[in-house]
Structure 1
């Protein structure tokens, strides 16, 4: 499985993602539809950060003027305590102290640009701009999904409806160029899977029109919750993760605890504008074929001890708890206090379903206490079902077969559904074991 991995230990911004993908070998030509539609150019250059040769990307208007790097108003790696040293990680420009004595600018009246920050566009206006570009369907679909993620995060923060939200920092041409360009470059590398390690947010505070807020910004927190991956603070008191960077990776990348094992084909480094010695202010990407790994699945494990449950109740738990969200139910014999026989019930479910499943478990069994075990995730196979046709004495019978594979698509188990096999056995007079064998053999993998 070809995997594109982002190393998030120094956060991410839109321009850093662009630069890292280009440095890893993505074709610059895929950016041309964006340049044509927005009347701008991507300026690509090289720099060195703490001894690491890296790529930078900036957006310029076709007349040579710098595009308003609106996300730079809360850009990558600002030291909000020292405006004299601000050097936008999102664009590498030093616009002077007057523009940089603040961090986030979510403010101003809706639809009215804050001074020096370019246009504020509504979510619907941004969608229209992207839809009018001459993009591949897949690129357009992913770009629109990223802006929807951004819009939902902003709407949640401000208590507004998605259709009414106005983008501030991320509504100008350069931010649109970041999002659409990043999607086009990522697709050009043709990965089967994209992952990111936990993203560093930085620390300190950032000033917005509504007040001063701690890093990470509220929009970044919302995006991380929706993407269901991890954030970590530090390693410096500066803003390392921007909303645009978070949204791009939030849609494209699965969260992983550590970089996967890869047979490397390419790597790239995208630089932010600010120097953070001794930390290299770069986003690293790795491209390669991954090892045979199972898929990480976050779970909750619920347990309860029962000493008075009837066989009928225990027998029906699998079905009743499954309707509440349980993924698996196990009932084990146990010896209770005073040597009385009982049962241990263990239930696996998704974290977001645990309260509903616990309530169902309590109502079905009458238990007075349910505990949550320590497991937080499991490793599972990718599972799909195939239906095979078995010919027996001129009759055709359908049997469903479960195919289990790892994250690389490598099949390691084939298992026919027992209920289907039992039905065929009854109708054909074949032994169940023979039906199972024939059905599993019929799956050509």
Structure 2
């Protein structure tokens, strides 16, 4: 499986993600849609960070933009972040609402998968800001992360990830840094409140240090919260390319870089994002419970389980648990309420499950001169390595009835035919 692995021991900012992706082989020309839409230019240069040759990316406003180009006055666009994400003259770009940023991204004419990723990242940023300030998402206003250069970071990262064509993205624990940082609302300890909110929504782990400076910015955290799985260590992989994205600041004896490694990892199960819905029932008939698998699957349920339980006043009841895709949760919950009459459905953010790739094959069995067909399910990992073969019981039972053979014998013959 083609995998991109980030090494986050010096944190991550939007510009560092861009630099790391370019250094790992992404095409600079893939960024053209953002430059055309926002009248900006990505300035890409090779810099030295404590002996490491790294790629530095800065977003410059073109003359057509009407604001001149970025100046290095020490202010950074990413909540005052000390890791040196693109320096710019303070106040570049308006402070936009979440809805305004969405309109800008949707107006860029991006490929649908890239637009979906960019919007998902901004939704994470909006939810984090809303949680910090106690506002609704639609009422949330971005400050630094709503400026043109921050939008260029997010959309640029989505474009470069698509260009690399990786199937999996992972990151080691991300270092947040330490000390305090000056923000538009005052002085805060590192990590900043928005970064903490984003880490809560992410799959990766957050670490402190190793220097007293802000290393992980909201933009960097949001990009990786959307695209990356957390791993304790870099996975075993055959390396095809590697590169380093540079932060703006330099630290004594510590290279301020984000490393990206691209290569092939060993086969594994496929990651599938899910959520879990559940409700308790104390008055459902057996017929209704037995039909839930059919009725809920029709609106997107991936799996339905009904478990006996004990409810208040020691009354017997049932716990219904439903696995579905996050985007189908509201529809499935509504059907569950309609079918059962329950007054409430709980949702648990399970995150993801690991699933096999599945295919079905129909095999022909010759028994006493007659041909019979049996469906067989084949399970394989992401590299196509088969690890399980299972005959469909109902098909095997029908053949057993017709031939007088035991069902187990029919199952063994069907599965052996596929394996052979």
2:419 matches 1:432:
no
CA 1:386/1:442 → structure 2, altered by over 3 Å: closer, same or farther?
Answer: farther
Moved more, 285-294 or 35-44: 285-294
- 1:183 and 1:281 mapped to 2: Cα distance? 23
Cα distance, 1:209 vs structure 2: 4.0
- 1:264 and 1:282 mapped to 2: Cα distance? 19
Q: Is the CA contact 1:18–1:185 (under 8 Å) kept in the aligned structure 2?
A: yes
Which residue of structure 1 aligns with residue 250 of structure 2? 275
- 2:194 and 2:29 mapped to 1: Cα distance? 32
Q: Is the CA contact 1:201–1:234 (under 8 Å) kept in the aligned structure 2?
A: yes
Q: Is the CA contact 1:203–1:233 (under 8 Å) kept in the aligned structure 2?
A: yes
Which residue of structure 2 aligns with residue 382 of structure 1? 355
- 2:165 and 2:231 mapped to 1: Cα distance? 20
2:165 matches 1:165:
no
Moved more, 56-65 or 38-47: 56-65
Which residue of structure 2 aligns with residue 342 of structure 1? none
Which residue of structure 2 aligns with residue 416 of structure 1? 390
- 5 Å-filtered alignment, 1:21-420, equals 21-63=21-63, 65-66=69-70, 72=77, 74-76=79-81, 78=82, 89-92=84-87, 116=91, 118-293=93-268, 320=307, 382-391=355-364, 393=370, 396-397=373-374, 399=375, 401-405=377-381, 408-416=382-390, 419-420=393-394
1:179-215 Cα distance to aligned partner (Å, 9 max, x none): 0111111111111111111111111122334443321
Which residue of structure 2 aligns with residue 16 of structure 1? 16
1:60-111 Cα distance to aligned partner (Å, 9 max, x none): 11115118998635244x2xxxxxxxxx610156x6xxx6xxxxxxxxxxxx
CA 1:444/1:42 → structure 2, altered by over 3 Å: closer, same or farther?
Answer: farther
Q: Is the CA contact 1:42–1:57 (under 8 Å) kept in the aligned structure 2?
A: yes
Structure 2 counterpart SS, 1:320: strand
Q: Is the CA contact 2:306–2:321 (under 8 Å) kept in the aligned structure 1?
A: no
Structure 2, unpaired ranges of 5+: 273-304, 309-317, 324-352
Q: Is the CA contact 2:80–2:181 (under 8 Å) kept in the aligned structure 1?
A: no
CA 1:31/1:443 → structure 2, altered by over 3 Å: closer, same or farther?
Answer: farther
Q: Is the CA contact 2:250–2:256 (under 8 Å) kept in the aligned structure 1?
A: yes
Structure 2 counterpart SS, 1:436: helix
Structure 2 counterpart SS, 1:121: coil
Which residue of structure 2 aligns with residue 301 of structure 1? none
Structure 1, unpaired ranges of 5+: 79-87, 100-115, 298-317, 328-379
1:16-65 Cα distance to aligned partner (Å, 9 max, x none): 10011111111111111100000110001111011001110001111151
- 2:224 and 2:418 mapped to 1: Cα distance? 36
- 2:120 and 2:418 mapped to 1: Cα distance? 36
Q: Is the CA contact 2:15–2:57 (under 8 Å) kept in the aligned structure 1?
A: yes
- 1:158 and 1:438 mapped to 2: Cα distance? 64
- 1:45 and 1:173 mapped to 2: Cα distance? 20
Which residue of structure 2 aligns with residue 372 of structure 1? none
Give the RMSD, CA atoms, in angstroms.
3.2
- 1:247 and 1:228 mapped to 2: Cα distance? 11
Number of residue pairs matched by the alignment? 343
Query: What TM-score, normalized to structure 2?
Result: 0.73
CA 1:438/1:182 → structure 2, altered by over 3 Å: closer, same or farther?
Answer: farther
- 2:127 and 2:19 mapped to 1: Cα distance? 26
CA 1:204/1:65 → structure 2, altered by over 3 Å: closer, same or farther?
Answer: same
- 1:89 and 1:442 mapped to 2: Cα distance? 61
Query: What TM-score, normalized to structure 1?
Result: 0.69
Which residue of structure 1 aligns with residue 277 of structure 2? none
Cα distance, 1:324 vs structure 2: 5.9
- 1:174 and 1:264 mapped to 2: Cα distance? 32
